[in-house]
Amino acid sequence: MATDSLRQALLQPDRYPADWDQVATRIKIEAGWRCESCGHPHDPPTGYTLTVHHLVPVKAFCEPFNLVALCQRCHLRLQPDPTVLMQTWLLKPPEWLKWRLASFQEWRESAREEARDG
């Protein structure tokens, strides 16, 4: 069920899931070990450490559409005030966000149908 993953995540919103290391590694591998925003490769000595950001800020909500590989620089630009960037992105979403928005909309519609069907 679509709502189960979010419902479960909201029980402990500030806790990463037990398999977080594997989840984060999978997201980084899928991104080719590059920041999905600026494209810089994972290169910690030069300050480009790849991280995984939750678009919906619930640590346990690890649906693929909610996770994005970002270098620390891009992550720190987004983290303090995600609303400004999200508003900009929603007007002209970058390529890496387009499939996530589409997947989120499908997930949301599925959740609405589940709620309607009770």
CB atoms within 10 A of CB 86: 14
Each residue's pLDDT tens digit, 54-66 = 988 888 888 899 9
Residues above pLDDT 90, as percent of the chain: 36
Q: Which residue has the higher pLDDT, 42 or 58?
A: 42
- CA 94 to CA 107: how far, in whole Å? 20
Segment 82-108 shows an average pLDDT of 79
Helix crossing, 2-11 with 95-117: angle to 10°? 100
User: What pLDDT, on the 0 to 100 scale, is given for residue 53?
Assistant: 92
Asked whether the beta carbons of 82 and 88 are under 8 A apart, the reply is no
Each residue's pLDDT tens digit, 71-82 = 999 888 877 776
Segment 109-115 shows an average pLDDT of 81
Segment 96-106 shows an average pLDDT of 86
**pTM above threshold 0.85:** no
67 DSSP β-pair partners? 54
Where along the chain do its domains lie? 2-117
- Residue 54: in which H helix or E strand, if any? strand 50-54
* DSSP SS3 for 56: coil
User: What pLDDT, on the 0 to 100 scale, is given for residue 3?
Assistant: 54
